[in-house]
Chain A
Amino acid sequence: MPSSSIAAPAPLPNVTATLETRKTIRVLAIGSSSTYGVGASSGSKNYPAQLTDILEKALRGINVEIINRGVSGEVAKTTAERLRVEVALTHPDLVLWQLGTNDALARVPVEEFENTVTSTIEWLKENKIDVVLVGLQYTSRFARDDNYAAIRDALRKIAAQQNILYVRRFEAMRYISALRNAPPMVSGDDLHLNDLGYHCMAEHIAHAVIANLFVRRFRPPTN
């Protein structure tokens, strides 16, 4: 799958800097249901767990510690409050924040959603914590839902403005579901990615982390 169409490339400066001095990175995975791997065959196969595997294999000697704080059905405002507390208590280097689906369903006003997400990202940046946004799920029925589209656009816009990594799950899942004879990546309910889909998502995040590390390592300092 074309990488550029599902993950907006963006730097992870703090994780990269951390890995130059330490061998451990701590990741806080927060957000709605897929954080703990709904639709995956076992809890260990959710995307944060897979991300750990990929990163630890690719970067030998690196230890990735994942803290899962996923609650399904939460709107971003609730998660944002919890996120600050969890960050303070767990001190992560990277936050994986899955969001959007439930705000679209609860018909949360888009401006309110944008404000919540932007202020939280700014707070994380101020405190030198990287963040990856993981976007909405794709379902055929919501492909044309206005509110769903508005929340999706808001996320894309925020990620571009803030220059942060954004995993466009909607596009990825639509791509998968449109492929003929594709291996089954979407589980029975047409909504949750199964293990392979999670693997794909984890790979994209890992790819960004690794790419950043190498860019940093081999590019001469600009100033």
Chain B
Amino acid sequence: MRAPNEIDFWRGFALATIFINHVPGIFYERFTHRNVSLSDSAEMFVFLAGWSLRFVVTNPGQPLSAFRLVLRLVGRAVVIYAAQILITVIAIAIIAAASIYFDAPPLLEWHNAAAVFEEPVATHVGLVLLSHQLGYFNILPLYVVLMTGAPIVALLDRASPWLALAVSVAVYGFALFGGVNLPTWPVEGRWFLDPLTWQLIFVLGFLIAAPGAGLGLFARRYHHALRLVAIPFVVAGGLAAWFQYSPDPLRVPDPKLFFMFDKTFLSPARLIHAVALVALFAGSYRYIAWPLPPLAAYLSMLGRNSLNVFCVGSVLSLAGQIARFEYGGGIGTDTVVIIIGIVALGVTGWVSEWRDRLRARQGPQPSPSSPPQLSSPPVSSRRAQPT
């Protein structure tokens, strides 16, 4: 188990705020950073996912062959896909159960679930293809696509980190220019988070995480200057969020998506703000962890187990919404929802690590069906890879 550290801490922070922000109308939403920040936890989560990809790709000590690398990244994509399917099915069951228990058929409409119940034949195909996503359950489908494309990013980066950046920026510009996004089906629409534009912040995380080359080297060498450059962007983004300012989409010049503050297409303003936040707050962790070690330990624990925590958090936000529906959206209900959420996320992180500690104590189990070097790595090293 890793000691609390900056990356895990911010990842945990993003996970905790995603949980709160996914209960619309909850009282405590007003204390999350998105009220003073143009970009929100989704950008942070995807950036840090890219950062974690660096550790998987670099694999300290023993560089992976291209084949092993692809195998490993596609394997990660499959794990994330499985998690998405699992939480989606649980969410559908929660919605259905709540509609029966509370005698409330309108609940069946929630979270884009209506099509599941009303047009099940086509929608089941859509669920498996990720072309039908429940509301608020749209980050993992993005992550699946990003992880599936990660081998390309990693191999381009091996050739040249600047080449990886150039390709990523080109795809981003193309998608933004034409408003290109993946379609949803059977419900006519588009993905809530466009993988073609969101890949850029993932790739930026991946590139900046490399300390000795390309963008990562540049960012470290000029961190002091970049921090100063970031301040006006962070302040401007903060003011825009606080005063709920966004440019009128009908007044901005073409191509419009370049000038809007759009989340679906990750408009440049949101992207630049997210990167400016990273530049400004990188290194600030020690000033947070020093006076508040329990907070650092708690959020780092969430961050170390991010996939498990994310899954539990998603299901809990839905449960929180149903609680607010049944018991009314008052500060009392909201406080109970938040306390249960914070405890449950912590328990999820703790149980995940406790299970790993038990396994580590038993020692790695050799698999008879595969040669030793291809069997699962020892648990201790596996845990060291951010999920």
| A interface residue numbers (CB < 8 A to B) | 32-33, 36, 38-39, 43, 68-75, 77-78, 81-82, 84-85, 87-89, 101-102, 105-109, 112, 123, 127, 137, 139, 141-142, 147, 189-192
Contact = CB atoms under 8 A, between A and B. Distances in A.
Contacts of B110: 72-73, 102, 105
A191 B105 contact: yes
Nearest to B256: A88
A127 B250 contact: yes
A107 B249 CA distance: 29
Interface residues of B, number: 40
B325 A70 contact: no
B378 to A, nearest CB: 44
Given A70-B189, A72-B110, A106 B250 contact: no
A123 B256 CA distance: 17
A33 B325 contact: no
Contacts of A106: 24-25, 321, 324-325, 329
Contacts of B114: 32-33, 38, 72-73
30 contacts: A32-B114, A33-B118, A36-B115, A36-B188, A38-B109, A38-B115, A72-B115, A72-B135, A72-B187, A73-B112, A75-B25, A77-B24, A82-B264, A84-B248, A85-B260, A87-B250, A88-B252, A88-B256, A101-B106, A105-B110, A106-B24, A106-B25, A106-B324, A107-B25, A107-B325, A107-B329, A112-B25, A139-B105, A147-B328, A191-B108
Nearest to A141: B103
Interface in B91-146: 103-115, 117-119, 134-135
A73 B109 contact: yes
B104 A70 contact: no
Given A38-B109, A101-B106, A191-B106, 13 more contacts: A38-B114, A43-B188, A68-B189, A73-B112, A73-B135, A84-B249, A85-B249, A88-B256, A89-B249, A102-B109, A106-B321, A107-B329, A191-B108
Interface of B: 24-25, 103-115, 117-119, 134-135, 179, 186-189, 248-250, 252, 256-257, 260, 262-264, 321, 324-325, 328-329
Given A68-B188, A71-B189, A105-B325, A39 B118 contact: yes
Contact of B187 (A70, A127, A139, A191): A70
A146 to B, nearest CB: 9
A192 B260 CA distance: 36
Contacts of B107: 105
Contacts of A74: 112, 135
Contacts of B117: 189
A105 B114 CA distance: 14
B111 A85 contact: no
Nearest to B108: A189
Contacts of B104: 105, 139, 141-142
B328 A107 contact: yes
Given A33-B115, A88-B256, A192-B118, A139 B106 contact: yes
Contact of B250 (A88, A142, A191): A88
A48 to B, nearest CB: 10
Interface centre among A32, A38, A71, A77 (most CB of B within 10 A): A71
A97 to B, nearest CB: 15
Contacts of A107: 25, 324-325, 328-329
Nearest to B260: A85
Contacts of A108: 24-25, 329
B189 A69 contact: yes
A33 B109 contact: yes
B95 to A, nearest CB: 9
A168 to B, nearest CB: 17
A164 B103 CA distance: 34
A71 B113 contact: no
B260 A72 contact: no
Contact of B264 (A77, A85, A190): A85
A76 B24 CA distance: 11
A71 to B, nearest CB: 6
B106 A142 contact: yes
A75 B24 contact: yes
A70 B109 CA distance: 12
A94 to B, nearest CB: 15
A30 to B, nearest CB: 10
Contact of A71 (B25, B187, B260): B187
Contacts of B321: 106
A139 to B, nearest CB: 6
B109 A101 contact: yes
B325 A32 contact: no
A44 B260 CA distance: 33
Contacts of B186: 43
Report, nearest first, the 5 A-B pairs whose CB atoms are least far apart.
Answer: A88-B249, A107-B329, A33-B114, A72-B114, A73-B110
A19 to B, nearest CB: 21
Contacts of A69: 188-189
Contact of B25 (A82, A89, A109): A109
Contact of B256 (A81, A89, A127): A89
Contacts of B105: 139, 141, 189-191
